[in-house]
């Protein structure tokens, strides 16, 4: 057996390397499907703080990020279908929609 520890994210960039354009596009795709930064970053082996820093520095990336979050919120609005194959937590759905669509879903 090898004494070398396994890397947490085997396909990730080396520490400190900037994410590639392909990784950023894939991140935004996963973010748009799930609305979860943690999940989207974890799928690609990217650090969340790197992505948040990039969002703060790059206005174009920040716009694409917000568009992805809006797509995820819009897909959640249709999640209340009674015969859906997936089981949704309605209370969690309520909090997520209030967070991402405060103008529509108020307290």
Residue 4, in any domain of the structure: no
Determine, yes or no, domain membership for 11. Answer: no
Domain of 87? Answer: 21-100
19 touches 51 (CB < 8 A): yes
- When pLDDT is averaged across residues 65-87 and rounded to a whole number, the result is 71
Domain count of the chain?
A: 1
pTM, two decimals, is 0.64
Closest residue by Cα to residue 36 from 104, 92, 103, 105:
92
- Residue 52 confidence (pLDDT): 94
CA dist., res. 22 & res. 16, Å (int): 17
On whether residue 72 sits in a domain, the answer given is: yes
Q: Are 88 and 80 in contact (CB under 8 A)?
A: yes
Kindly report the three-state secondary structure assignment for every residue of 38-100. Answer: HHHHHHHCCCHHHHHHHHHHCHHHHHHHHHHHHHHHHHHHHHHCCCCCCCCCHHHHHHHHHHH
Which of 91, 7, 83, 19 is CA-nearest to residue 48? Answer: 19
- Residue 78 banded pLDDT, cuts 50, 70, 90: low
Query: Is 96 domain-assigned?
Result: yes
| Residue 81 domain flag | yes
Q: Is residue 106 part of a domain?
A: no
Task: Encode pLDDT of 4-50 as tens digits.
Answer: 555 555 555 555 578 999 999 999 999 998 888 999 999 999 999 99
Q: How far is CA 84 from CA 36, 70, 78, 93, 98, in A?
A: 21, 21, 10, 14, 22
């Amino acid at each position: 057996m090898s004494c070398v520890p396994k890397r947490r994210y085997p396909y990730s960039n080396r520490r400190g390397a900037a994410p590639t354009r392909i990784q950023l596009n894939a991140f935004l795709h996963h973010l748009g499907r799930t609305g979860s930064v943690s999940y989207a970053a974890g799928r690609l082996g990217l650090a969340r703080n790197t992505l948040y820093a990039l969002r703060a520095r790059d206005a174009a990336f920040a716009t694409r990020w917000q568009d992805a979050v809006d797509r995820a919120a819009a897909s959640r609005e249709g999640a209340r279908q009674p015969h859906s194959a997936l089981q949704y937590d309605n209370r969690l759905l309520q909090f997520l929609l209030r967070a991402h669509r405060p103008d529509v879903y108020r307290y």
